[in-house]
Amino acid sequence: MIKAQVYVFLLCTALIFSCNKEEEQKHKKPNILFILVDDLGYHDLSVTGSKFYETPNVDQLANQSVIFTQGYAASRVCSPSRASIMTGKFTARHGITDWIGAKTGTNWRSRKRYDKLLPANYVQNLPKDDITIAETLKSNGYKTFFAGKWHLGNKGSYPEDHGFEINKGGFHRGGPAGGFFSPWQNPKLENKQKGENLTIRLAKETANFIQQNKDSTFFAFLSFYAVHAPIQTTEVKWKKYRDKADSLGIAKSGYKMERVLPIRKVQDNSIYGGLVETMDDAVGIVLKTLKDNGLDKNTIVVFTSDNGGVASGDNFSTSNLPLRGGKGYQWEGGIREPFFIKVPWLKSKVTETNFPVIHTDFYPTFLDLAGIALKPKQHIDGISLKPILEGKEINTDRPLFWHYPHYGNQGGEPSSIIQQNGWKLIHYWEDNRLELFKLPSTEKDEQNVVAKHPKLAKQLHNKLMSWLHEVDAKFPEKDTEYDSIKDAKRDFNIINKKLKSLEKNRLEILSKDFKPNANWWKSKITKD
């Protein structure tokens, strides 16, 4: 009799504890997991149309999310976009308009580019005056964690200086110093095992943080160095994608000329394919940790990229077609991104929307979903996307702005952009010419329709110029030492030499006996 009473008592206690735990979860602020991939193009995922790359884990996440088909990076290159995510401000407003480390002014001449303009100066550390999303969440009881690429300033402007309590791997460098396999050269991430993959390590560090803080409320920011150059993978993954390219049929030509540089027109880079798949493997590790710890139902998950895929310059890694351009470019291929937001407790019927959104929207959206008072003076260029996530509409014709008074390493030109009501106007600073596109069709077809809509173009241009001056944007200046002969010679060499070398390299990578070095970028453990 006594045993039975004890059993009933324990059962009741367990039920009460379970009910209390469920009630506590209901009233607990949501956890937030932000996954940012470096240089991932819009079409670099199976779920967004790639027939070559395989990304089952990200695809599954996308299928559980609201997919924003017109999701935009705040810039065509990394540092400005990252600063906009952190601050909720457009790039011309916070002042970081190029990747930190890029040369400006007369120093640009050392690149021997012979361009017409000298790039504008820009802010080179995330401004201290801005209250980052991490700082706001931390002040509202969140445990904050950062892993991976930072590239928002030098010492004194690292993640731990802007609201993140833990920093694993974030410092001033924009690429994976030492490569993607240990030993790497990262003062914020110790080497533990030779040959360890950096992308997987960052995922494990994030998973460990989640495991250790499962009873708290957390903001985990997983910022992969992948798929940034140098592109590296294992021999096994290279072979998988090399064989896949072969089975799909290797195109005779992989490149064509864009305005300034050659650009990749096919997805068949087997090294890059392996790099993308490893990123997907890493995402799977973190998502599994959420589920295993019962956190998947109370964790907002975001997946996006900081700029378009690298189709020119760097390693000419991928193709963004049918979107034009890629990283560094002013067209859709440079700024359209995978943009997924999963809010598991919202039973919205919306699975996909073409409402234009941008990086600055994350800040107010997170606060709104967490029941934290918005900070409109801080995230001034963002809006909360909570209504859309709930299946409602947002009635706004707000303009989106981009400002890049620089030359891109990948072929992009100094230009500024306004996009509103389905129209996109680009102003080029070299000669003040304009391009006007009706999205999405005309840019895919490379049809500049400015001559057909001069009144609209003028209205948008006036609005763009007015906004740039309002936020005290910095502009490029004419280079008084510009040499048109040297400029033309450089263009000639690109057309006549670079194209041939790229095609040769592409076929070498796809050959059956390709071998980059003895240990496959340190992924194979060899005897010292």
Tell me the per-residue pLDDT of 445-458, one tens digit each, with 9 for 90 and over.
789 999 999 999 99
The number of beta carbons lying within 10 Å of the beta carbon of residue 469 is 11
Q: Stretch 185-189: mean pLDDT, rounded?
A: 98
Quick check: 412 pLDDT over 50?
A: yes
Residue 177's CB: how many other CB atoms inside 10 A? 14
Closest C-alpha among 468, 362, 497, 339 to residue 405 = 468
User: How confident is residue 22, by pLDDT bands cut at 50, 70 and 90?
Assistant: very low
For range 434-450, the mean pLDDT: 88
The arithmetic mean of pLDDT across residues 184-211, rounded, is: 98
Percentage of residues in the chain having pLDDT higher than 90: 87
pLDDT in the model for residue 104: 97
| Residue 527 pLDDT level (bands cut at 50, 70, 90) | very low
At 113, is the pLDDT very low, low, confident or very high (cuts 50, 70, 90)? confident
Facing residues of 400 across strands? 419
Can the peptide bond before residue 47 be classed as cis, meaning omega within 30 degrees of 0?
Answer: no
At residue 492, the pLDDT reads: 84
pLDDT at 13: 47
**DSSP category for residue 213:** T
At residue 310, the pLDDT reads 98
3 state DSSP class of 145: strand
Question: Quick one: what percent of the chain has pLDDT higher than 70?
Answer: 94
DSSP annotation of 296: G
Range with lowest mean pLDDT among 239-253, 382-396, 433-447, 501-515: 433-447
* Tokens matching residue 2: 């006594």
Question: Is 97 in contact with 406 (CB distance < 8 Å)?
Answer: yes
42 has a pLDDT exceeding 80: yes
Cα(153)–Cα(132) distance, integer angstroms = 14
**For the chain, percent helix, then strand, then coil, each to nearest 5?**
35, 15, 50
SS3 319: coil
- Give the integer Cα–Cα distance in Å for 37 and 82: 11
Instruction: Please give the pLDDT value at position 165.
Output: 98
Q: Tell me how far apart the alpha carbons of residues 86 and 84 are, in angstroms, rounded to a whole number.
A: 5
Res 2: pLDDT? 53
The predicted pLDDT at position 314 comes to 82
Are the C-beta atoms of residues 101 and 122 closer than 8 Å to each other? no
Output the pLDDT for position 350: 74
Pick from 180, 281, 286: nearest CA to 233: 180
202 touches 224 (CB < 8 A)? yes
Q: In whole angstroms, give the CA distance from residue 58 to residue 360.
A: 22
Instruction: Tell me the mean pLDDT in the region 221-242.
Output: 98
The per-residue pLDDT for 3 is 52
pLDDT band for position 5 (cuts 50, 70, 90): low
- pLDDT (0 to 100) of residue 23: 45
196 vs 190, 200, 271, 527, CA distance in Å?
Answer: 11, 8, 17, 15
Helix axes 270-292, 198-212, angle to 10 degrees: 10
DSSP secondary structure, 469-502, as one string: HHTT----EE-TT--HHHHHHHHHHIIIIIHHHH
Burial class of 329 by CB neighbour count within 10 A (0 to 12, 13 to 18, 19+): buried
CA distance 451 to 219: 48
CA 518, CA 372: separation in Å to the nearest integer?
54
Which residue would you say has higher pLDDT here, 526 or 513? 513
pLDDT (mean) for 86-102: 98
Whether pLDDT at 212 is above 90: yes
Mean per-residue pLDDT, 345-366: 91
Pairing of β 31-37 and β 299-305: parallel
Largest CA-CA distance found in the chain, in angstroms, rounded: 101
Residue 488 main-chain phi, psi, to 5 deg: -65, -35
Q: What is the pLDDT of residue 320?
A: 97
What the chain holds in terms of domains, given with CATH numbers, is: 32-399+484-509 (3.40.720.10)
Question: Higher model confidence: residue 37 or residue 2?
Answer: 37
How high does pLDDT run on average in the chain?
93
- DSSP-derived letter for residue 371 is T
Asked whether residue 18 carries a pLDDT value surpassing 90, the answer given is no
In whole angstroms, give the CA distance from residue 252 to residue 466. Answer: 48
3-state secondary structure of 356: coil
**Which of 289, 360, 255 lies closest to 145 in space, CA to CA?**
289
Contact, 350 vs 388, CB < 8 A?
Answer: yes
Could you read off the pLDDT of 271-289 as tens digits, one per residue?
A: 999 999 999 999 999 999 9
Surface-to-core class of residue 367, CB atoms within 10 Å of its CB (0-12 exposed, 13-18 middle, 19+ buried): buried
What pTM did the predictor assign? 0.94
Confidence of residue 208 (pLDDT cuts 50, 70, 90): very high
Chain position carrying tokens 């006036």: 462
- In tens, the pLDDT along 256-271 reads 999 989 999 999 999 9
